[in-house]
Structure 1
Amino acid sequence: MPRQMKFVAFLMAGPTCHHYAMWRHPGTENRFLDPAFWETLARTLEVGRFDGLIFADTLSFYDETIMARGGQISLLDPIPLVAIMARATSRIGLGVTIPTSCQEAFAIARLLSSLDVLSGGRIVWNIIPSANDLAAQKSGKDTQQNDEPFDRAEEVLKVSLDMWKGWADDALVVDKESGGFLGEGKVRRTEIAGKYIGVRGMFTVPPSPQRQPVIMQAGSSPRGRNFAANYAELVFTLQHSLPDMQAFYADMKDRVAKAGRNPGDCAILVSVNVIVGETEAIAREKQAYINEMVDTRLSVAILADRTGIDLSQYPIEKPISQIPAVTDSLGCFNVTLQGTKPSNLTLGEAAKQFATSEFCPQVVGTPKSVADKLQQFFENEGCDGFVVTPTEMPGSFEAFTRSVVPILQKRGVFRKEYPGSTLRETIRA
């Protein structure tokens, strides 16, 4: 069977996704507090045969400007939304982002495993090693800066994997006649004492049809890439152009192989912001219209939050290449620099461009030309698929599934039907 693309929809339970003017678009419904909205969106994506959807998450309001101007914030916990969307669908994968720094391993593993069982084996865990200091304080911690976040994340994941593997496939008996509920010796204890995590006891949740949640990771730093190479089945990356995609793709596949895994078992997904129009001119007008709505003050505030750099001390006319990268978020800052190299953008220009797609490609055009561009990225070893981000909600996803997906299906580079019932079956087909 020829290699086929994978698609994951990027979502947030709030006003924006990767385009920070999304909530201001006339076509955006802003029904993020309405359960029916999320149910309908999940069905739309499932009709489009998306592999899955992933909720990014924020645990705090980071900045007055970000709050006041409708930046990238979460107004709801995505976990109940995923449960609602699971009830409205039967095949699409459902992803949540949970930092390993703010919750204990057992609580994370139990929550994810319960969702995986109830969804029929369709959950993906997007692991992030740490939240920012404000989120840490809400979790009873003073700071995340000295926590060696990837080391802790690895321990949390290893404990979770051990607990998920603790149940035998035939452990749950439920035999009324004999009185046997669980098979003796079919559930083993987890006994792990690490530097950050210690667990002793039996895990309480039976395995799902896919055994355990799919693991996703989005680290861009060398440490993040190594973590993903060892554990991730899906890797979400922000890349500026095809050469950048190809370099990341080759590097990650090499790291996966060196980790002793099959490179085909780790799919690399690049973020794209798709804008579809009936003609090329209409599509470009749509792009210019939504991009012009971006608020520069909001853009600088969010870029400061992403990079960990106090950007308020610099004039917006300063070339961003001249701003020192003293930050704990070097991966994000390097992506920013990568996106500004071709035009030597100022801080204000870079922040505004960042706010339209986080320096990922805006793929703009007719359904055919959008399909052509995605196929170019895919067939030239830039990626295994895409994380699709919207500019209006739910219109971006409706236009994509109705106009671009059928073209890719006809060309044989995207599925017409789901291969099975679980997410792991879908991503490995």
Structure 2
Amino acid sequence: MAGRRMAFSAILLNSIAPIPDGMWRHPRAANGYDFATPEYWEDIARTLERGGFDAVFLADLLHPHEVYAGSHEPTLRFGAQCPIHDPLMLVPIIARATRHLGIGVTVSTSAEYPYQLARRLSTLDHLTGGRVGWNVITSFNEGSFRALGIDQPPRDERYARADEFLDLCYQLWDSWQPDAIVEDRESGVYANPAKVSRVEHEGRYFRCDALFPVKPSPQRRPVIFQAGSSPEGREFAARHGEIIFAIQQWTPEMRAFDDDLRGRIAAAGRDPQAVKLIYQLQVVTGETEEAARAKLAELQSLVRVEGALTLLSGIVGYDFSRHAPGDPLTDVSATGVRAGLESILAASSRRDGGFTIADAARLYGLSSGSPLVVGSPSQVADQLEEFADEGGADGFNLLATDMPGSYRDFVDLVVPELRRRGRVRAHYAGSTLRENLAQEVAAFAG
């Protein structure tokens, strides 16, 4: 049997803890580091590169959650993704600590202008040797728009603006021809003006008349990450995404999502096989299944129902404080990330008996609705192979529990087993993030 190499990324926030609730209280959390220091990120980056990861995925939230109980107080009290710092500043720190690890950073098209962001991302691509990715979001958090002093547009308008934003960025990045820089010391000519085009753009949302000031970076364009789950988001991802992130509970759901997205990608005139579909999941592993189950029990004990509901309310855009914890979970009107609620509803449908708001909180508070894979290294590897071979997953976006211990567990325990099966690279073949993602996948005998 032949199998493809799996791509791996690690999803992180520049915050007090990873995305799950309460993990900052874990006995081995931070391991003596403070997330606001370079040493914290250097340590994590080196661990991920040691494990052959393709990239670190730096998620972001422009403004703290304040949907639950209509207040920011629960967010501060529980440390619910707050404090949260700017992820863009981490790129040079991670790059200096590694040689190959890609760095995908989240930046909202609702909070930036194309010219400025294109310039920053090109500069970072130079400084990292071509390892930058851009996770394109349009922002869903109402507080973010209030903080920026602008009205929150409807979802379809946010995506229309994002389309134009990217189109303008593409024009800027492509405005220098590959041979524009001459560097002829004898003649004194540095660049051939005929090989550099001025960008003149007049659109619905943006106007730009500019000479792009950054020479072509190693990748020219950053690798485009996308994680849209709504119909508008999926269409946007099909038009632009090179790596598309998703949360689907198990193999049949992954296969259905794979078929849907690759069909949309083909309809957009792109090669469906040139795009990687990466599914978020959480792994709790130990030397044995019993050890992994013991770790899981400890992690679950750290999740607080109200803290988790603060997160869930903020992500989904629905105030769950309207309900008692013992009330049954039902579908609600979600103004935020619809996938957050759908993942919980999908998980609840697999359980016998009632599923309450408190049950949803405990589930979301640990795994954010992602599939939770628990077991020994071989058991974890078996499940990942099923997701890849039967679900169509090109790889996985690993959601941490405690930091940095959970990534060390995965790299030290699971990665050797995956390498034994030929599923994880032993070394990096390319010099840029895009080259490593396109690396030919090894076949293995099994």
Q: Is the 8 A contact 2:140 2:336 kept in 1?
A: no
TM-score relative to the length of structure 1: 0.96
Give the secondary structure class of the aligned counterpart of 1:78: coil
**1:53 is aligned with what amino acid?**
V
Q: Structure 1 residue aligned with 2:418, among 382, 400, 408? A: 408
Shift of 1:130: 2.0
Give me the CA root mean square deviation: 1.7
TM-score relative to the length of structure 2: 0.92
Map residues 282-321 of structure 1 onto 2, 5 A cutoff: 282-321=291-330
For 1:352-374, what per-residue CA distance to the aligned partner results, in whole angstroms no more than 9, with x for missing partners? 21111111111111111111111
| Partner of residue 69, structure 2 | none
Map residues 105-120 of structure 1 onto 2, 5 A cutoff: 105-120=114-129
Q: Is the 8 A contact 2:15 2:84 kept in 1?
A: yes
Distance between the aligned counterparts of 1:339 and 1:199, measured in 2?
A: 47
Shift of 1:125: 0.3
Distance between the aligned counterparts of 2:254 and 2:43, measured in 1?
A: 32
Q: Is the 8 A contact 2:34 2:40 kept in 1?
A: yes
**1:380 is aligned with what amino acid?**
E
Q: Structure 1 residue aligned with 2:361, among 345, 351, 360? A: 351
**Identity over aligned residues, as a percent?**
40
Shift of 1:316: 2.0
CA, structure 1 residues 9+31, in 2 after alignment: closer, same or farther (shift >3 Å)?
same
| Partner of residue 361, structure 1 | 371
Runs (5+) with no aligned partner, structure 2: 66-71, 440-446
- The reply to whether residue 211 of structure 1 matches residue 220 of structure 2 is yes
Give the secondary structure class of the aligned counterpart of 2:261: helix
**1:383 is aligned with what amino acid?**
A
Shift of 1:144: 4.0
CA, structure 1 residues 293+214, in 2 after alignment: closer, same or farther (shift >3 Å)?
same
- The reply to whether residue 222 of structure 1 matches residue 254 of structure 2 is no
Q: Structure 2 residue aligned with 1:388, among 388, 395, 398? A: 398
| Partner of residue 97, structure 2 | 88
| Partner of residue 336, structure 1 | 344
Shift of 1:145: 4.3
Distance between the aligned counterparts of 2:429 and 2:316, measured in 1?
A: 40
| Partner of residue 180, structure 2 | 171
| Partner of residue 444, structure 2 | none
Q: Is the 8 A contact 2:54 2:101 kept in 1?
A: yes
| Partner of residue 142, structure 1 | 151
Q: Structure 2 residue aligned with 1:156, among 152, 165, 168? A: 165
Runs (5+) with no aligned partner, structure 1: none
| Partner of residue 61, structure 1 | 64
CA, structure 1 residues 331+389, in 2 after alignment: closer, same or farther (shift >3 Å)?
closer
CA, structure 1 residues 83+131, in 2 after alignment: closer, same or farther (shift >3 Å)?
farther
| Partner of residue 7, structure 2 | 6
| Partner of residue 49, structure 1 | 52
Distance between the aligned counterparts of 1:61 and 1:198, measured in 2?
A: 31
Aligned residues between the structures: 428
Distance between the aligned counterparts of 1:326 and 1:389, measured in 2?
A: 23
Distance between the aligned counterparts of 2:57 and 2:338, measured in 1?
A: 23
Shift of 1:382: 3.7
